[in-house]
Amino acid sequence: MCGRATLTKNEAELEEKFGSTFYTEDIARYNPLPSYNIGPVQPLIFINQQDPHHFQVGIWGWTIQIGSLPKLVINARMEDILNKKSFIPHLASGRCIILMDGYYEWMVNNKEKIPFRITSKEGDILKIAGLWREELTPYGLKEKKVVVITRPAQEDIRFIHTRMPLILTQNEEKIWLSGQIDQNTVESYCNAEKIINLHQYRVSSKVNSIRNNDKTLILPDDKPIYYQDNLFD
């Protein structure tokens, strides 16, 4: 899964890099950047199909009804995208690209959970496939919500977690925003043999608390990891 992210660039840097602009009211309302520890129900930056020349701000997670109870959904498995009734209505016009420059994942080592940050090797922005929709707030206002699409993890980071965000190549970006999504597309995007140049490194356990959000969270933690030998090996 993917449940924490970073976007450490500011608005001006993103506008210069992508040639798109932010809506002033979004910046005033959310003040989302830079952020070193983005979690569910916090703002994510995205570009959608209908308005590719503007950055949008969406809250991470959709609320869906499971029986009589509401449930927050933050990720959608690409393998299930054509079959889940929560997502099917939004495939036609709700596709988007979510911007991150890294995400956090926790490796389980015996009973210890060790946080890692995963980025591109070049330090580039990761363009993540996503879906967005509008929901009504308790005050009756419309608010954009987003979910992150995930795929099976590629081999070099599978020791951390078996899932990863669906990071799009340049050609895949165009297909995701404007092309037809069918079973062949799903299989191509989910191919675990498709390798993105990624860099992973251990970070401080301070990232475990969503209350922490500063530059120190993305610094490497060089403490060694001790693996317990299997007594039956």
Exactly one of 2, 79, 122, 155 is catalytic; name it.
2
Which is catalytic among the residues 105, 135, 155, 193? 105
pLDDT at 162 over 70: yes
The answer on pLDDT for 71 being more than 70 is yes
Model confidence pLDDT, tens digit, residues 94-103: 999 999 999 9
- Model pTM? 0.93
Query: pLDDT per residue over 33-42, tens digit each?
Result: 999 999 999 9
Question: Where do the domains of the chain lie?
Answer: 4-218
Neighbours of 116 (CB within 10 A): 20
How far is residue 193's CA from residue 156's CA, in Å, rounded to a whole number?
10
Q: Does domain 4-218 have CATH number 3.90.580.10?
A: no
Alpha-carbon gap, residue 25 to 31, rounded angstroms? 10
105 is catalytic: yes
Task: Using pLDDT thresholds of 50, 70 and 90, give the confidence band for residue 232.
Answer: very low
pLDDT(229) > 60: no
Cα 123 to chain centroid, rounded: 16
